[in-house]
Amino acid sequence: IAGEVVEVGLGAVLAKGDQVYGMINDFAGRAYAEYAAVNCQQLAKAPASIELAVAAAVPLAAQTALQALRDDGQLQAGQAVLINGASGGVGVFAVQIAKILGAQVTAVCSHRNVELVTELGADRVIDYTKTELVDLDEQFDVVFDVFGNYRFEQLRTLLSARGTYVNTIPSARIFKDVARSFVRRQRARLVIVKSRRDQLDWLRQQIDAGSLRVVVDRSFPLADVAEAHRYMETKRARGKVVLAVD
């Protein structure tokens, strides 16, 4: 979400009139509305260089990418990362954040999105319609499976000796893989995103500095939310889909 603060509670660090962006934690919903009540710790001042309608595309997807790569994957400068699903809402941020962190980025997407992902900074782009990931003969320090269409066991050969596989899709299998990671050198992780002011502040700084680009595929009016979901479910969106409240 993104908007203007109209009321604040006692002790809030934000003020009426502030332009803010953030996410309501715990998948509680309430964002498809003209007004939303939000814990101020889940919000931060919005980037000054973009419109609020664009800022709304950032918190969920960009924080997912940041937490997956920096926190769960512990990605370091000079390391190699493979991002599967690099042209979607999370993927476009993941490519850029990995570059900001100093990594060598290999991105996976369809042929029609190769140019976009290259523009975002990927060092190498793999067209998944021509190359099967399990057939790659190379290793990465982090494999970020944004699309979630592979299993940890399928991609273990792509991990370095102490590499980390990060998935975004909760399932019984990934929970088992995460549990088994405690007795393995190679790790599996599931990113469960939480909105945090410090991370929103970091993202705002990157956006305002021109280091992080927000890619919005389409914007729908709030009344057309069903159509927006139908479009999202095609899994063909390049970047984010936004709902605009008049």
Answer yes or no: are the C-beta atoms of 75 and 101 closer than 8 Å.
yes
Q: What is the pLDDT of residue 101?
A: 99
Q: What pLDDT, in 10s, does the model give residues 193-243?
A: 999 999 999 999 999 999 999 999 999 999 999 999 999 999 889 999 999
How large is the average pLDDT for residues 4-15? 94
Q: What is the pLDDT of residue 181?
A: 82
Q: What pLDDT, in 10s, does the model give residues 91-147?
A: 999 999 999 999 999 999 999 999 999 999 999 999 999 999 999 999 999 999 999
CATH 3.90.180.10 fits 2-59+195-244, yes or no: yes
Q: What is the pLDDT of residue 122?
A: 99
Q: What pLDDT, in 10s, does the model give residues 11-70?
A: 899 999 999 999 999 877 889 999 999 999 999 999 999 999 999 999 999 999 999 999
Q: Tokens representing 19?
A: 């332009």
26: Cβ contacts below 8 Å, ≥ 6 apart: none
Q: Tokens representing 28?
A: 């509680």
Q: Where in the chain is the domain with CATH 3.90.180.10?
A: 2-59+195-244
Q: Where in the chain is the domain with CATH 3.40.50.720?
A: 60-190
Q: Measuring CA to CA, how many Å separate 62 from each of 12, 57, 134, 182, 221?
A: 24, 8, 27, 27, 22
Q: In the sheet where 43-45 sits, what is the strand order?
A: 2-4, 19-22, 43-45
Q: What is the pLDDT of residue 203?
A: 99
Rounded to an integer, what distance in angstroms lies between the CA atom of residue 194 and that of residue 210? Answer: 24
Checking DSSP bridges between strand 2-4 and strand 19-22, what pairing results, if any?
A: antiparallel
Rounded to an integer, what distance in angstroms lies between the CA atom of residue 228 and that of residue 212? Answer: 25
CATH topology of domain 60-190: Rossmann fold (3.40.50)
How large is the average pLDDT for residues 82-94? 98
Rounded to an integer, what distance in angstroms lies between the CA atom of residue 209 and that of residue 158? Answer: 34
Q: What is the pLDDT of residue 138?
A: 95
Answer yes or no: are the C-beta atoms of 19 and 200 closer than 8 Å.
no
